[in-house]
């Protein structure tokens, strides 16, 4: 009998844990009349309007959209110093502009890199090439 009590206690705790969370409930409970309510979106879907930008050897600027229902950040690998882009962070739908400098005909170099965009739960990248 004394071995039954810890077993029953563990069984009861497990049953309570399983019934405490209902996956069908809305995870965000905000009172729209409460000015102090803060909504944190932890499952922000991230979409890029294109997967790559291709540039010729001349100086140029091109744009694309980052689309998410939350905030996003971005980062570059350390060798990606041959182009610039702005903005580097945003929220919602944001147009990002990429600028490359001319590399000239005498330079037999092609460049390729990427920009990684991240939300709290997703990441995507766009490839940038110049040749």
Q: Report whether pLDDT(48) > 90.
A: yes
Condensed to tens digits (0 to 9), the pLDDT of residues 50-66 reads 999 999 999 999 999 99
Q: How far apart are CA 90 and CA 94, in angstroms?
A: 6
Could you tell me the pLDDT band of residue 27, with boundaries at 50, 70 and 90? Answer: very low
Chain Cα centroid distance, residue 111: 25
73 pLDDT more than 50:
yes
Residue 107 pLDDT level (bands cut at 50, 70, 90): low
Helix (H) or strand (E) holding 114: strand 111-118
Three-class SS state of 2: coil
Tokens standing for residue 110: 């092609």
Q: What is the DSSP string of 30-99?
A: --TT-TT-----SS--EEES-SEEEE-SS-EEEEEEEEESSEEEEE--TT--SEEEE-SEEESSEEEEEE
Please determine, for residue 30, whether its predicted confidence score (pLDDT) is greater than 70: no
Domain locations along the chain? 46-130
- Omega of the bond prior to 17 within 30 degrees of 0, cis? no
Q: Is the pLDDT of residue 101 over 70?
A: yes
pTM: 0.65
- Checking if the pLDDT of 43 tops 70, the result is no
Q: Return the pLDDT at 97.
A: 98
What CATH class is the domain 46-130? mainly beta
């Amino acid at each position: 009998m004394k071995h039954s009590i810890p077993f029953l206690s563990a069984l009861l705790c497990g049953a309570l844990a399983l019934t405490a969370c209902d996956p069908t409930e809305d995870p965000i409970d905000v009172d729209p009349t409460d000015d102090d309510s803060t909504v944190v979106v932890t499952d922000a879907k991230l979409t890029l309007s294109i997967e790559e930008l291709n540039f010729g050897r001349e100086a140029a600027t091109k744009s694309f959209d980052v689309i998410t229902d939350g905030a996003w950040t971005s980062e570059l690998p350390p060798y990606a110093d041959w182009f610039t882009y702005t903005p580097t962070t945003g929220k919602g739908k944001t147009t990002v502009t990429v600028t490359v400098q001319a590399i000239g005909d005498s330079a037999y170099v092609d460049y390729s890199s990427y920009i990684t965009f991240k939300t709290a739960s997703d990441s995507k990248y766009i490839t940038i090439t110049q040749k």
